Amino acid sequence: MDVNIAIVPDAVALARAETAREILEQLADLYGTVYGLDAVAVLDGLEQRETLGSTGFGRGVAIPHCRSAQVTRPTMAMLKLERPVGFKSADAIPVNLVFGLVSPENAGATHLHALAAISRMVRDEAMLGALTESPDAEALYAVLTNQFLRDAA
């Protein structure tokens, strides 16, 4: 399955946050800075999705996501946190890897395929280990793009 998720090097960052809300704020700011999206609108979308239930995936991972008219294809941003933060994950493990996903408003199946691709990636022990051990944003980006290129082949 070919999942075409947009990600650029500047959309991967190391971050410090104390709360789940701070994580969402930093993710929205990253979307604003890197992709030129309205950060307030992205934050609103992410927060609305969280009211339906936590996007804490488990295993130290969260996948906050929303839909927006501001994008034409699924667009990713990623934060690696300096210290884990509680995110109301089902397994109660605080998160240290956060994958943001903003998809087009009408991208029903495409959005679900993008979420599935991210969840498959973080369920892979070797991949999760490589992301967790990456020392900086550049290394994280390399691991992510190598994974998506491999999946697309």
pLDDT at 9 over 80: yes
The answer to whether residue 21 is domain-embedded is yes
Question: Is the pLDDT reported for residue 1 higher than 50?
Answer: no
Are 35 and 21 in contact, with CB atoms under 8 Å apart? no
CA distance 52 to 34: 27
What is the sign of the dihedral through the CA atoms of 122, 111, 74 and 20? negative
In a domain, 143, yes or no: yes
Is a pLDDT exceeding 70 seen at residue 150?
Answer: no
Task: Provide the 10 A C-beta neighbour count for residue 133.
Answer: 10
| Residue at 95 is within a domain | yes
Residue 4 in any domain: the answer is no
Considering the domain boundaries, does residue 70 fall inside one? yes
pLDDT band at 142 (very low <50, low <70, confident <90, very high): very high
Assign residue 91 the CATH number of its domain: 3.40.930.10
Q: What is the pTM of this model?
A: 0.92
Residue 89 belongs to domain spanning: 9-152
Catalytically annotated residue among 17, 26, 50, 65 = 65
Which tens digits make up the pLDDT trace of 74-128? 999 999 999 999 999 989 999 999 999 999 998 888 999 999 999 999 999 999 9
CB–CB of 54/88 below 8 Å? yes
Question: Is the per-residue pLDDT at 71 higher than 60?
Answer: yes
Residue 2 lies in a domain: no
Residue 113 falls in the annotated catalytic set: no
